[in-house]
Amino acid sequence: MPSGRMPVGDVACAGEGSAGDGASSAAQDLAQLRARGLLRRAVEAFGEAHAEPAGAGDHAPLDHDAVDAVLGGGLARGALHEILAEEAGDCGAAHGFALALALRLNRGGAMLWIQEERARAEDGAPYPQGLAMMAGKMMAGSAFDPARIIMLRTRDARSALWAMEQGLRCPGLDTVLAEVTGLAGACDLTASRRLVLAAREGGATGLLVQAGSGARGLKIASAARTRWLIGAHQSRRGLAGEPGRPAWRLHLARHRGGREGRWLREWDHEQGQFSAVTAGESATGASQALPGDLPALPRERTDQTRRIAAAR
């Protein structure tokens, strides 16, 4: 990890208490004011980092001509994008893809990472060394420094969406990534429109991640620019047998004003960009046959195997 700190704060749950309770309402207002101050101080703590506001037609390339062509030049900045796992077992892949998008979207500003407490319990907390590894060579320049990630924990999904809206309006932020459970119930069409408007006005890009469950059977009414369904894809092992690059099955399931599509992509952490899945791997991710002839089993071993089979 580069030198620096990752500010962490807790936001009180907006909307606690009964609607007619004046004391509860005052407590909610005070909690929200404190949360706004926390966000402002956290962003200002980075001093010289100021994100450039996104302009009309501003996109971040995803390093693949076909993908970028479908998206109209890349992933739109100053917009809201949804990332969902295909199945519950793909949640880790969905989070990894969201982080990769945040790295491609970064232009020198800070990143706000919001985690609902339940999402943190379901999928775990970000691992600093893993973040640094995914950033790769990007750390050497001024494009991205993992120490510029602001970690924010909220009590529930509604508080996470409120914090996301505030963050999207903060100058100095390139990306706001929020992990939310129960997305279908927490983020309706009205809530998503508020996020879209905040992203458009503030210039930051919103990445809304469904945590803890897959997208099967999930119905969400949303104003988001894109919706991605992500599945884990087999990666090629390194020369020393270490885990290979993160690889994904990408399904652009919804694209306002554009086409949909499916692709296989992996993350090249050395270059800090997406790349094609390694040649030689099948589209289904099936294991490759081992090279060379396998040695024959000893005769006594084969005889023993026959005797065991006959006994059954």
Q: Is residue 273 part of a domain?
A: yes
pLDDT tens digit sequence for 104-161: 998 888 899 999 998 888 888 888 777 877 877 554 444 567 778 889 999 999 999 9
Assign 50 to helix, strand or coil. Answer: coil
> In this structure, what CATH number is given to the domain that contains residue 164?
3.40.50.300
pLDDT computed for residue 170 by the predictor: 87
pLDDT computed for residue 236 by the predictor: 78
Q: What is the mean pLDDT of residues 66-94?
A: 92
Per the model's pLDDT, the better-predicted residue between 145 and 90 turns out to be 90
Number of independent structural domains in the chain: 1
Which residue is listed with tokens 């997305």? 183
**What's the rounded Cα separation, in Å, for the pair 228 and 142?**
29
Per the model's pLDDT, the better-predicted residue between 98 and 214 turns out to be 98
Domain that includes residue 109, residue range:
21-280
Q: What type of residue sits at position 101?
A: L
Confidence of residue 85 (pLDDT cuts 50, 70, 90): very high
Confidence of residue 28 (pLDDT cuts 50, 70, 90): low
Q: Is residue 139 part of a domain?
A: yes
**What's the rounded Cα separation, in Å, for the pair 31 and 69?**
44
Q: Is residue 295 part of a domain?
A: no
Q: Is residue 199 part of a domain?
A: yes
pLDDT computed for residue 194 by the predictor: 95
**Which percentage of the chain shows pLDDT scores above 90?**
35
Q: Is residue 297 part of a domain?
A: no
Which residue is listed with tokens 């099936």? 286
Q: Is residue 309 part of a domain?
A: no
Q: Is residue 47 part of a domain?
A: yes
Q: Is residue 286 part of a domain?
A: no
pLDDT computed for residue 284 by the predictor: 41
Alpha carbon dihedral 227, 36, 52, 260, in 10-degree steps, equals 0
pLDDT tens digit sequence for 51-68: 565 555 689 999 888 899
Longest dimension (CA), the chain: 86
- Conformational region of residue 279, where left means phi above 0, alpha means psi within -120 to 50, and beta covers everything else: beta
Confidence of residue 40 (pLDDT cuts 50, 70, 90): low
Assign 123 to helix, strand or coil. Answer: helix
How buried is 107 (Cβ within 10 angstroms: 0-12 exposed, 13-18 middle, 19+ buried)? middle
**What's the rounded Cα separation, in Å, for the pair 196 and 310?**
68
**How many CB atoms are located within 10 Å of the residue 77 CB?**
22
pLDDT tens digit sequence for 280-302: 544 443 434 444 454 555 555 45
